[in-house]
Amino acid sequence: MRYLVISLILCLSGCAAVPVTASFPAAPAILMERCPELKTIAKDQVSIVDFVKTVTENYTAYYECSAKNLAWQDWYTQQKKIWDETK
């Protein structure tokens, strides 16, 4: 029985897997941040100047978020190319 167990263990030892694993890289934290909410006007009465300022801030927020989205696409495309080259 003891020899049978030893033989089985030896046989099973032939099933060792190749010890190389790779995983797709994690995205940079800065690209994982969510885009900010757009600003609203809190007061009932507001001057046209403040109104335009809020609109400008929102446009800026949009362009920042758009840049982040483009950076995401750029990051993914390049990382996928590198990943595919390893196969």
Partner 1 sequence: MIILHLLPDAFIAWFINIILIAGAVTTVAGFFVKFIPFVNTYRIPVQIAGILLLTVGVYFQGGYSTELAWRERVREVEVKLAAAEKKSQETNVEVITKFVKKTKVIHDQGQDIINYIDREVVKNQEVVRFVENCPIPEVIIATHNAAALNQPIKEKK
Which one of 14, 32, 34, 36 is in contact with partner 1 (CB under 8 A)? 14
60 burial (CB, 10 Å; 0-12 / 13-18 / 19+) is: exposed
Both structure tokens of 79:
């990382």
Taking the complex as a whole, how short is the minimal distance between the CB of residue 3 and partner 1, in angstroms?
A: 17
User: Distance between CA 62 and CA 37 in Å, rounded?
Assistant: 10
Residues that bind partner 1 (CB under 8 A): 10, 13-14, 16, 18-20, 22, 25, 28, 30-31, 37-41, 43-49, 51-60, 63-64, 67-68, 71, 74-75, 78-79, 82-83, 85-86
